[in-house]
Amino acid sequence: MTVLHLADAGEAADLGAFLARLVHYDRAAAVRLQAHGTTLAVFGRPPSFEVLAIRTARLAKPYEKGLDVTLDVTVSAGELLESVEESAATATVPEAVTGPPWAGVLPPRGGWRQEPGLPAPEAVKAMVTAAVAEFRSRTEELAPELRTRAELDRVGREIWSRPIGDTGLPVRAAHAAQSLGFLRPVPPAPAAVAAGVPEQVPSGESPLALYSSGAWLRLRTPFGSIAVRRAGLLALDVSVH
């Protein structure tokens, strides 16, 4: 049985929080794990958002006793969550499961370049808030006989597919980032808090950056990334593993 040794309890807690959010949206959620060196990447697909969520964690060492060189497996998110031990900073890799289709097609590993035009974090969060309010308002205004799943999906696609500024990144990517806890404020540095001067170290908004590689866009935050395929581009710019 493979045991992942995370760098510290904080890494274990953050991994657990990410998995818990995925399971909240889908109890049967699966995640694909890829590890190399001291980095673990966890890929998940929260339903309805139509995006890939990526959370990385630092490892104290690659695997139990350092016997394996790499890890690449799709497992149950719920089972992995249950195995996370924060105090020991470990997680036990469950038995592999038959992965959903998305797990076989991941964003490219390289070739990413930063894209301009992403609004400030507070503006991105304001767009998400406005979109949520619009969806709620428009669906509540529908007559009961018109409030069908097809109509709700149509309204949702119209709202969540709108681009953020001139970037081509759909609002649903930012909504997914917020729902998964990726847009939370960056806390003050522990050293500053210990010194008793947290007010001198502004936590502020999470810094955001937008990257592209082929048909993919990736919204990067300090807590994880959201990757999405750009509409209208050929399905050749993918990494099939």
pLDDT tens digits along 118-148? 999 999 999 999 999 999 999 999 999 999 9
pLDDT digits (tens, 9 = 90+) for 144-175: 999 999 999 999 999 999 999 989 999 999 99
Give the C-alpha separation, 147 to 80, whole Å. Answer: 37
pLDDT above 80: residue 194: no
pLDDT digits (tens, 9 = 90+) for 17-28: 999 999 999 999
pLDDT of residue 236: 38
pLDDT of residue 56: 95
pLDDT of residue 2: 87
* Global pTM value: 0.85
pLDDT above 50: residue 43: yes
* Residue-averaged pLDDT of the chain: 87
Residue 73 phi, psi (nearest 5): -155, 150
Q: List, in order of start, the domains of the chain with CATH numbers.
A: 3-106 (3.10.150), 113-186+204-234 (no CATH)
What is the per-residue burial (b if ≥16 Cβ within 10 Å, else e) of 132-161? beebeeeeeeeeeeeeeeeeeeeebeebbe
